[in-house]
Amino acid sequence: MKAIIIDDEKGGRDYLSDLVQNHCPELEIIGVADGLASGQKLLDEKQPDLLFLDIELPGGSGFRLLDQLEEIPFQVIFTTAYSEYASQAFRYAAIDYLLKPVVAEQLVEAVQRAKNQAGGASFKEKMEVWMSNSGGQKPKKVLLPRSRGFEMVEVEKILYCQADGNYTEVYLLDGHRIIVSKNLKMIEQSLPKDLFFRPHQSYLINLHCISRFSTGDDAEIELTNRKMIPIARSKRKLFTEVISSIT
């Protein structure tokens, strides 16, 4: 893979270049730039597979650089000293968001994730997923933010989600579990309401994955993987109405 670095500090560029050389031999740094204008020119000339992008740059932000491009055929890893931009970086479906000084182990993980996603969904496709979900359309896929990077998942392959404080455990039909760095309420808002139901404050379930259920004193739902989900007393009437409407 070929990569370029856009960072306004020479020390930052040199430090990251050295980390890549020492820890990511499969990655070749083919150019560096120090601002928006030089960065855009370098992108046009080199056409990299991966971009290491600082956020605060002369002439504007790294986000502005991406906004100016008609198409983004490369993957992006943000490198910055400021943690407050993390939520905004989510909009750009970045592979990772590394805080300076970049740690070698985190860099290696980010580059490996970029390699794993190469040939998969393009940056443009990820943006289309995010935009369609944000626009209120029924999404076929959802971008799940992890502690470092994102994972794209087909909505119908989600079995259930379980709250874990400020995080959410997302369980897929194939048994895979994804730890997502968003709370359950935010996950619920990003998924179609006609497919997912929240029977309990700690759970969000795929209605198509119900095996059986009971609505008595010990009301609960059994999913297709035999996981038992409680139904809160306040949700029992609504659950019965929802089930009646789809059966």
Q: What is the pLDDT of residues 15-58, one digit of tens each?
A: 999 999 999 999 999 999 999 999 999 999 999 999 999 999 98
Residues 6+ apart with CB under 8 A from 171: 158, 159, 160, 161, 162, 177, 225, 227
* Residue 140 pLDDT: 72
- Architecture of the 2-124 domain: 3-Layer(aba) Sandwich (3.40)
Lowest-confidence region among 112-116, 125-129, 154-158, 173-177: 125-129
* Residue 131 pLDDT: 47
User: Which one is predicted more confidently, 123 or 193?
Assistant: 193
Q: Which fold has domain 153-246?
A: OB fold (Dihydrolipoamide Acetyltransferase, E2P) (2.40.50)
Q: What is the mean pLDDT of residues 115-125?
A: 60
pLDDT at 153 over 60: yes
Judge if pTM exceeds 0.85: no
Q: Which part of the chain is CATH 3.40.50.2300?
A: 2-124
Q: How far apart are CA 53 and CA 103, in angstroms?
A: 16
Q: Which part of the chain is CATH 2.40.50.1020?
A: 153-246
Residues 6+ apart with CB under 8 A from 164: 179
**Average pLDDT, rounded, for the chain:** 85
